Amino acid sequence: MKLMKSRYKQIIDDYNSGLTQLETGKRNSVGRDAVGNILKRFGAARRPYTGERNSKLKWTWDRDFFDKRNPTVAYWAGFLMADGSLASAGKATLALVLQEKDKEHVLSFCRAIDLSEEAIYHIEHGGCKQTPQWGLHLHHKDLQKQLLPWGIVPRKTYVYSEPQVPDDLLPHYLRGWADGDGSIYIRGTGARFTITGNTEAMKWYGNALRKLGYTGNFSAKRKGEYHSELYIGGTNQVAQIARLLLTEGSFKLERKWNVTYNSKKVLYPHICKVCGQSFGVEKYRHESEPQNGKFCSRKCFATSMRKQAVDGRMQCCKCEQMVLLEEMSANDSYCKLCWREIGRAYYQKKHDAKKE
């Protein structure tokens, strides 16, 4: 995070006034480690460690949480596989930092591990987008050993360790992973489910879905040297993913799954501009009025494009010349010459697209 020189001075002054690194960080909306780095960089004197002074920093939590095997632990292990960060060997520190809109999810994790909600901290300008965030840090000497079976290792973006997850916990683990790095998109008649991560991890995720009973296709599109995107497209396929991962009463990040699968589409009433009949249109067409949702059928649309006949002739919508009725196309909108040109241009465009 880039800070102005005046903020560096303010951070050093706050620390020298007697505040701890954590308190100094909270006051200046930076992390505790960032405060330590600033003090070291500018050669500021750091107070020696005393158990009494730092006792406030040692929050109690369920240190055996990740050794358990139940749906709650599996979900959060999957979520940390996506959004957690485990420090390199020797530090045994786990960090979880989320966007401000997901603060409640951070608090849910606190409640799951019996950690005080006061342990979370706020960052005013965090991440590459410099947006507000909420996070927490866990410290425990056995963290790396406990998280290894779940596939969580230091630098997991570049280093892959295969998760060892019991089959009955796979839906919860995969749902947590999807809540962290996944995306579900549904619009009109199209839908897709995507998740990003280490290339080998994405292949494992796809095979794990197969183990649960997923019968559709998936692809792992490489996005960089080490990471890929698992892509699943189609309304039926996404609906099947939802049925497999959203077990009854399952905990989830609501905003990711707040969509309806395989349900009757909600139609909005419109009046056809040609025949005057009432008809229903889907939400995505309804919201893009007046460009869409004007006509109840292709026939009415063609009628709207059709010019009035004058003395047995009609005007072509493309070249605008008056031609005989028998020389007009089937929809009475274009002359046959222009209609053939439109067809050739369309198929040439498709042919060129295949070459690319």
Among the listed ranges 58-62, 208-212, 278-282, 288-292, which one has the minimum average pLDDT value? 288-292
Residues in a beta bridge with 95 = 85, 137
Residues 196 and 52 both lie in one domain: no
pLDDT tier, 65 (very low <50, low <70, confident <90, very high otherwise): very high
Question: What is the reported pLDDT for 289?
Answer: 57
Question: What is the reported pLDDT for 173?
Answer: 96
Distance CA 169, CA 71 (A): 6
Question: What is the reported pLDDT for 53?
Answer: 39
Residues 80 and 221 both lie in one domain: yes
Q: Is the pLDDT of residue 60 over 50?
A: yes
Residues 76 and 214 both lie in one domain: yes
Q: Counting Cβ atoms within 10 Å, is residue 201 exposed (0-12), middle (13-18) or buried (19+)? A: buried
Question: What is the reported pLDDT for 146?
Answer: 92
Counted domains in the chain: 4
Residues 292 and 326 both lie in one domain: no
Residues 135 and 120 both lie in one domain: yes
Distance CA 132, CA 142 (A): 31
Domain boundary (33, 57, 81) is at 57
Residues 270 and 298 both lie in one domain: yes
The most confident of the ranges 161-175, 230-244, 320-334 is: 161-175
Residues 314 and 301 both lie in one domain: no
Residues 253 and 166 both lie in one domain: yes
Predicted structure pTM score? 0.60
- For the segment 105-126, the average pLDDT, to the nearest whole number, is 88
Domain boundary (23, 40, 57) is at 57
The residue range of the domain holding 347 is 310-356
Question: What is the reported pLDDT for 232?
Answer: 92
Question: What is the reported pLDDT for 212?
Answer: 92
Q: Counting Cβ atoms within 10 Å, is residue 351 exposed (0-12), middle (13-18) or buried (19+)? A: exposed
Residues 226 and 326 both lie in one domain: no
pLDDT tens for each residue of 119-160? 888 888 766 667 888 999 888 888 889 999 999 999 888 889
- For the segment 15-24, the average pLDDT, to the nearest whole number, is 82
* CB 253, CB 105: distance < 8 Å: yes
Residues 251 and 333 both lie in one domain: no
Residues 96 and 243 both lie in one domain: yes
pLDDT tier, 54 (very low <50, low <70, confident <90, very high otherwise): very low
Residues 284 and 350 both lie in one domain: no
> CA torsion angle for 107, 73, 241, 265 (degrees, to 10)?
-30
Q: What is the mean pLDDT of the chain?
A: 82
**3-state SS string for the chain:** CCCCHHHHHHHHHHHHCCCCHHHHHHHHCCCHHHHHHHHHHCCCCCCCCCHHHHHHHCCCCCCCHHHCCCHHHHHHHHHHHHHEEECCCCCCEEEEEEEHHHHHHHHHHHHHCCCCHHHCEEEEEECCCCEEEEEEEEECCCHHHHHHHHCCCCCCCCCCCCCCCCHHHHHHHHHHHHHHHEEEEEECCEEEEEEEEEHHHHHHHHHHHHHHCCCCCCEEEECCCCEEEEEEECHHHHHHHHHHHCCCCCCCCHHHHCCCCCCCCCCEEEECCCCCCEEEECHHHHCCCCCCCCCCCHHHHHHHHCCCCECCEEECCCCCCEEEHHHECCCCCCEHHHHHHHHHHHHHHHHHHHHC
Q: What percentage of the chain reaches a pLDDT higher than 70?
A: 86
pLDDT tens for each residue of 292-339? 677 777 777 777 766 677 787 888 878 888 888 788 877 677 888 888
